[in-house]
Structure 1
């Protein structure tokens, strides 16, 4: 695990080399969900790196893992815009990465879409798992349920998350309170979809407890080049519930893009 210092903030990150590197493959940058971190990905990024030939760059966003804690809770409702348009470009420049693949889950998927559509920087392609482009009632209902579980010692949710975050209360409440704030109800990033750089692979489970398939349908309607994968027997974390299907789809997507360059 390494640390990156940017504008007085510290990010933990790791770079994982593929067991089968493809010389023409750019790095793939992983952006985790609203309660995620490097450690919560487990060995999934390495599996993707091995299957695609891409180096995997994985980091804990501000407020998560061992990265700099959040300075305010709840966050500004545009926190995903800030991470996509301000923070991610600085991180990529510091790591000397240009035209990467982006791989984002949930909040990380939304950040990836905003960056690909609004940062004005080239990306090779964007893979998103269970992304949000607008706020649905089902998301808010289940976030409220998660909040009750976090406060209930019998669920051990705080304890489990505490193994992955140095500031577990800040990490949880930064997500929970922001999403449930009245100002966040109108959050929407569909305006970034038509200008997304490069192809998009959007994957979602049919049993996603935080979203309906309307999320994927709007991405397909708004972005120029989209492949959709809808997975049965799969909830909000396709890389955990259906890892084989996600890796296969990602490897095919990456190969198609890189082979077209030859």
Structure 2
């Protein structure tokens, strides 16, 4: 029996992480080496350091953080540990397929394309199970398309969901990505060349923020770290495939299902990607079919764009914690 050697890409990613980010870890999910970080409350960390057994708290959910397209788990740097300490929950942030330090497959079996939005839904669930939290409810905190993935899980697997915290959510077909012609172009060879030129120059996209000057260390730390994945193996190929196979998730036609779990809908007042008025329209549409006892609410953050977790991290943290406390974490 022969042992299959790890791919060069896996070895390269592991070497980068081991030398630059000791808090990061890898777990295999559906055959893909996935980069993640896990935060646990201080009391649990102390037990772990003493090599003592961490107590099983069956009434505590696990919190899963899902980033936006062209983001990665770094976007949750201000929230990962504070959420764990304040709630007593374990909190997971991971790099979605095609982003960050997660492996980017070059080949896949028929019917198992990892670059579809449908695959992203099942991937998130499997990640939680593979990390040993299969028996727990999940609090989903998702931004933009990460929020869309969270909503589809709530629609299809409500028994897994404790609550939803949606930041600048992209829930309609038109808001989840480029139009079909744009996806066709970006999924082609010329489109890949365009991506290399555009992303190298503009990532992270300034239009997603109200004011990048309000973000501490934006030029010296935030911007460079968001650009690191551009230098990693197969980034442009994988992102091109993501665009090529991108089919928006069906969400709003199942809006009644979304009202069955507690929901916080959190937006910036200067969201240039999806205007605040459009967000209000979508939220009101969901709320219109909610039962009288539904726990759904919208909050608007002033002087903030499409990525509140980057631009107003403390306000986002406070609003999420207040919401989770009120829905019984």
In the superposition, the TM-score normalised over structure 1's length comes to 0.78
Gaps spanning 5+ residues in structure 1: where?
none
Contact 2:70 2:99 in 1 (8 A): yes
Contact 1:106 1:129 in 2 (8 A): yes
The answer to whether structure 1 residue 116 and structure 2 residue 154 are counterparts is yes
Give 1:248 deviation, angstroms: 1.0
Contact 2:78 2:313 in 1 (8 A): no
Gaps spanning 5+ residues in structure 2: where?
1-23, 45-56, 108-112, 184-190, 205-222
Q: Give the Cα–Cα distance (whole angstroms) in 2 for the partners of residues 219 and 56 of structure 1.
A: 27
Give 1:116 deviation, angstroms: 0.8
Correspondence for 1:53: 88
After TM superposition, the structure 1 stretch with the greater mean CA deviation from structure 2, 130-139 or 50-59, is 130-139
Q: State how 1:112-191 maps to structure 2 within 5 Å.
A: 112-136=150-174, 140=178, 151-152=197-198, 155=201, 157=203, 160=224, 161-164=226-229, 166=232, 167-170=234-237, 172-174=239-241, 188-191=250-253
Out of 233, 238, 252, the residue aligned to residue 322 of structure 2 is: 252
Correspondence for 1:193: 255
After TM superposition, the structure 1 stretch with the greater mean CA deviation from structure 2, 240-249 or 45-54, is 45-54
The answer to whether structure 1 residue 34 and structure 2 residue 98 are counterparts is no
Aligned structure 1 segments of 4 or more residues deviating by more than 6 angstroms: none
RMSD across aligned positions (CA): 3.5
Contact 2:72 2:95 in 1 (8 A): yes
Q: Give the Cα–Cα distance (whole angstroms) in 2 for the partners of residues 168 and 215 of structure 1.
A: 31
Spell out, residue by residue over 1:167-203, the C-alpha distance to the aligned partner (whole angstroms, 9 max, x if none). Answer: 4324543555666xxxx5x764212321135201111
Correspondence for 1:206: 269
CA change 1:8–1:153 in 2 (3 A) is: closer
SS of the residue 1:30 aligns to: strand
Q: Give the Cα–Cα distance (whole angstroms) in 2 for the partners of residues 71 and 216 of structure 1.
A: 40
Q: Which has the larger radius of gyration?
A: 2
Q: Give the Cα–Cα distance (whole angstroms) in 2 for the partners of residues 219 and 170 of structure 1.
A: 35
SS of the residue 1:254 aligns to: helix
Contact 1:162 1:168 in 2 (8 A): no
How many residues were matched structurally? 248
SS of the residue 1:83 aligns to: helix
After TM superposition, the structure 1 stretch with the greater mean CA deviation from structure 2, 215-224 or 51-60, is 215-224
After TM superposition, the structure 1 stretch with the greater mean CA deviation from structure 2, 127-136 or 150-159, is 150-159
Give 1:69 deviation, angstroms: 0.7
Spell out, residue by residue over 1:18-55, the C-alpha distance to the aligned partner (whole angstroms, 9 max, x if none). Answer: 3478x643210011111121234333322333333322
CA change 1:238–1:155 in 2 (3 A) is: same
Q: Give the Cα–Cα distance (whole angstroms) in 2 for the partners of residues 201 and 154 of structure 1.
A: 34
Contact 2:283 2:298 in 1 (8 A): no
Contact 1:28 1:101 in 2 (8 A): yes
CA change 1:139–1:54 in 2 (3 A) is: same
CA change 1:175–1:33 in 2 (3 A) is: farther
